[in-house]
Amino acid sequence: MTIKFLGYRCSLCAAEYQPDEAIYTCRHDGGNLDIIYDYDALQRELSPEAILSSQESSLWRYLPLLPVNEIHAAGTPMGAVGWTPLFSPPELRDQLGIENLWIKDESRNPTASFKDRASAIVVAQAQETGVEIVVTASTGNAGAALAGMAAAAGQKAVIFAPKDAPPAKIAQLLIYDAQVLLVDGNYDQAFDLSISASNEFGWYCRNTGYNPFSLEGKKTATFEIWENLMRLKSFETPLAVFVSVGDGNIISGLHKGFKDLQALGWLEYMPRIFGVQAEGSAAIANAFKAGGEEIIPVAADTLADSISVDLPRDGVRAVRAASQTGGAYLTVGDDDILTAIADLGRVGIFAEPAGATAYAGLKEALKLGMIGSNDPVVVLNTGSGLKDVKAAMQAVSPAEIIEPSLTALEQVLQRIG
Ligand SMILES: *Cc1c(COP(=O)(O)O)cnc(C)c1O
Ligand SMILES: [Zn+2]
């Protein structure tokens, strides 16, 4: 295997590690590691045009900017991750009074969430280094994504998820034929167990906010935003990007992607990044609002299971994604999240609670005057509503049940007007 990156750098103490060191987090302080590239060499060898003319309609079009050497599992669902659509629904633009509004629909990924981006790169990495078993802890989506990508690539996967994860997510794990272990505890306990198991049995660990390659997959969403939007249009004010936050790895990945583009000289200004957390699971937002980087765990309680996290594993970088870009953190209640599910549904986008959270955050930011009507805005829908049908049903009124007769139908139509 040839190694394509220069090494790892700790996000806390800046300690550097060699690319061939098998390492997850900093040995000194447990800090998250950033993967560093030779940007000068990349700049010499690569032009934006080379990427723009790629025939790959997936995240693999960014292979030169990824820490893997080749496209893996082409012709399978793993070859179809990313390159998700940007929608600009007129009704939402009118409602919010924002002319330039886009929803990037990550539910279109093969296992129906943003997590496929990370799992594709981690499975590719596993294949290049020849590991036998990949393991992850998950609230559901990371596991489904790992199980799905592993199935596509013929890789063995072990998944730890809380036993009360939404049934659709557990079904995905089983259908993709992973070794599934449902933990009688919460996500944080599943996380700790997966790390112990990884250390004990030598399994390769994908965990969010632990494995440095997961963030490298997640950054690819920004390359798509850059390619599909920022290169085509010039805006008067910086782009604002809204994303929901649990462990903080997606938002950190967005920051890294934009930083990569700046380091290459391909991006003039840094977009403002806005993180949105559920009020009941707001450890990172709390740190941001306190003006520091100290992440104090909470006892997480929200219906948005994908962002229900006591101790975020990528909290410091997640704070910086907002503080270093002129963005901010917002918190929204579960009621706001349910309303946002209904808002998006009305324009044909079906989001799970954590997916709709970002949209709820945009509404809050508008209320607080953080976003003006001229600001271009991208909101990520990170997961499909089919992942959590129980929550979806809470966002709408129940359907009428009628006798199978025209009379009964007429009566109901009269009553509901
Ligand atoms: C994992 C996930 C998030 C949050 O990502 P973090 O990296 O944990 O902050 C948001 N939405 C969905 C649907 C997810 O699965
Ligand atoms: Zn360190």
Q: For residue 367, give the CATH number of its domain.
A: 3.40.50.1100
- Residue ranges making up the domain that contains 228: 78-110+215-394
Strand bridging mode 7-10 / 33-36: antiparallel
Q: How many CA atoms lie within 13 A of 409 on its CB side?
A: 3
Q: Which ligand is nearest to the CA of 30?
A: 2
Write a three-state SS string for the chain. CCCCCCEEEECCCCCEECCCCCCCECCCCCCEEEEECCHHHHHHHCCHHHHHCCCCCCHHHHHHHCCCCCCCCCCCHHHHCCCCCEECCHHHHHHHCCCCEEEEEHHHCCCCECCHHHHHHHHHHHHHHCCCEEEEECCCHHHHHHHHHHHHHCCEEEEEEECCCCHHHHHHHHHCCCEEEEECCCHHHHHHHHHHHHHHHCCEECCCCCCHHHHHHHCHHHHHHHHHHHCCCCCCCCCEEEEECCCCHHHHHHHHHHHHHHHCCCCCCCCEEEEEEEHHHCHHHHHHHCCCCCCCCCCCCCCCHHHCCCCCCCHHHHHHHHHCCCCEEEEECHHHHHHHHHHHHCCCCCECHHHHHHHHHHHHHHHCCCCCCCCCEEEEECEEHHHCHHHHHHCCCCCCCCCCCHHHHHHHHHHHC
The reply to whether ligand 1 has any atom less than 6 angstroms from the CB of 276 is no
* CA–centroid distance, residue 139 to ligand 1 (Å): 9
Report field, pTM of the whole predicted structure over 0.85? yes
Is position 276 within any domain? yes
What pLDDT score was predicted for residue 22? 79
What pLDDT score was predicted for residue 177? 97
The reply to whether ligand 1 has any atom less than 6 angstroms from the CB of 113 is yes
* CA–centroid distance, residue 99 to ligand 2 (Å): 43
- Taking residue 339's Cβ as centre, other Cβ atoms within 10 Å add up to 17
Residues of the chain scoring pLDDT < 50? none
Is position 273 within any domain? yes
Q: How many domains are contained in the chain? A: 1
What pLDDT score was predicted for residue 317? 98
Is position 274 within any domain? yes
Instruction: Tell me the residue length of the chain.
Output: 417
Is position 52 within any domain? no
* CA–centroid distance, residue 381 to ligand 1 (Å): 10
Is position 182 within any domain? no
Is position 129 within any domain? no
How large is the C-alpha radius of gyration of the chain? 21
Mutation test of ligand 1: which of 32, 106, 114, 255 has the most ligand atoms closer than 8 Å to its C-beta? 114
CA of 382, closest atom in ligand 1: 13
The reply to whether ligand 1 has any atom less than 6 angstroms from the CB of 306 is yes
Q: How many CA atoms lie within 13 A of 240 on its CB side?
A: 28
Is position 116 within any domain? no
Is position 341 within any domain? yes
What pLDDT score was predicted for residue 416? 86
What pLDDT score was predicted for residue 309? 94
